[in-house]
Amino acid sequence: QDPQSPEADQFRQAAEQTPEVPFGLSSSAAVLSHYGASANTVALFRRVDDERRDLDMNNGDVDAKKLIRFVRMNELRLVTEYDPVTAIGVMQSSLQFNLLLITDKMSPKHPERMRKFRAAAELYKGKILFILLDSNLKSNERVLSYFQLKKSQLPALAMFHTPDDEHEVFAAEEISVERIQDFCNRFLQ
C-alpha cells in the first residue's frame, strides 16, 4: 500500500527484470477495494483463463527473485511455452482443454507456425489453453512419449481434455489457422 515500502521496491525490481509482463503499482484504497486485494498483495491477472493468483508480501521474505518466480509459475500467455516452471500454471488452469503445438523451435518455419498458432489462440481464448512444446528440450521427451510421437512426425498438434485424459494427435507438416480450427472444433464436439 505504501509506494515507498521495501515491498514496493522489490516489486519495481521484478518489473524491471520482466519487461514483457505489464506491471502496475497502486496505493489507492479504491483500487484495492475494487479488486478485493489487501495491502502488500501482488495480484496476477491471467487473460487466457480469466483467473487470478495472489501473492501476499506481508511476511517480508518475498524479494524480487521470488516475485519473478511467482509470475513465471503462474502466468499464462495467449500461447504459453511449456517448461518445468510454467508447468505449474498450466496444470492449475481452470481450462479443461489444452492444445499443444509440438515443434522444433529451431526450425526456419517456426516463426510462421507460431504466428498462425497465436492467431488461432485468439479465437479460443477462455476455452482452450494453447501451449508450445519445444521438441528439442530433453524435459519434454516424456510428453512426446505420452502422445506416442517421434521427432520425425513433427510438427504436430495434440489436443488434451484434462478431466478424462482424452486426447487426439494431428501430425501436419503445414500448420494453418484453418487446420487448427478444424482440429479444435472436431475435438470439442
Helix intervals (H) in the chain: 6-17, 29-35, 64-74, 87-91, 110-123, 141-146, 177-188
- What are the pLDDT digits (tens) for 44-102? 998 788 889 999 888 778 899 999 999 988 888 889 999 888 888 888 888 999 999 99
Cell of 107: 526450425
> Which comes out higher in pLDDT, residue 182 or 40?
182
Contacts with 59 (C-beta within 8 Å, 6 or more apart), sequence order: none
In a domain, 1, yes or no: no
Of 19, 39, 74, at which residue does a domain stop? Answer: 74
In a domain, 161, yes or no: yes
Q: Is the dihedral of CA 61, 62, 64, 65 positive or negative?
A: positive
In a 10 Å sphere around its CB, with 0-12 CB exposed, 13-18 middle and 19+ buried, how is residue 71 labelled? Answer: buried
Its domain, for residue 161, covers 80-188
| Co-location of 115 and 50 in the same domain | no
| Domains held by the chain: number | 2
pLDDT at 75: 84
pTM of the model: 0.80
Of 55, 74, 93, at which residue does a domain stop? Answer: 74
